[in-house]
Chains A and B, each alone.
Chain A
Amino acid sequence: MGIDDIRDEIDRLDGELLRIFNERASLALKIGEIKKGLDLPVYDPAREKRIFARMTSENKGPLDDQAIVRLFERVIDESRRLERIMTRGEQ
């Protein structure tokens, strides 16, 4: 497999990641809506901790666990932002 073939595969995976990120974000918005209805806080540290624990326990590399945590921190930060917008009606 040459460099162009590998880059094509990376581009394909990036497209898949984009779709998955947005699918996940749509679900976060639904959670935000439910939290708004129940007057629950956006920040749920126990839930975030469970996500990190599950992702690192399922991690098979080559990314190490710290890298997985850093990546999911970004994903969770953005999900939390969407939930905040949903619950507070902010932009």
Chain B
Amino acid sequence: MLIVMRKTADEKAQEEIKSYLIERGFDIHQSTGANRVIIGVIGDTETLPESDIKAFPGVLQVVRIAKEE
């Protein structure tokens, strides 16, 4: 799963979503660009409801990675 943060998302918003994910046993790969932060979530993200992630402040988009058949 990829979580794209809004340009306006501050550090507190980033820390909040990262804490949520890490406390639930997911690994994250953060990639900080000039304008955006993208958080790659590693683990069984099937158990992560998109609506819960989107509800966090600063989250612009949640992208699920398609399962390989």
A interface residue numbers (CB < 8 A to B): 41-43, 45, 49, 66, 69-70, 73-74, 77, 80-81, 84, 88, 90
Contact = CB atoms under 8 A, between A and B. Distances in A.
A80 B19 CA distance: 12
Nearest to B30: A73
B28 A77 contact: yes
Given A45-B15, A45-B18, A69 B23 contact: no
A59 to B, nearest CB: 15
Contacts of A81: 27
A42 B29 CA distance: 15
B18 A66 contact: no
CB-based closest 3 A-B pairs: A43-B22, A45-B15, A81-B27
Contacts of A45: 11, 15, 18-19
B47 interface: no
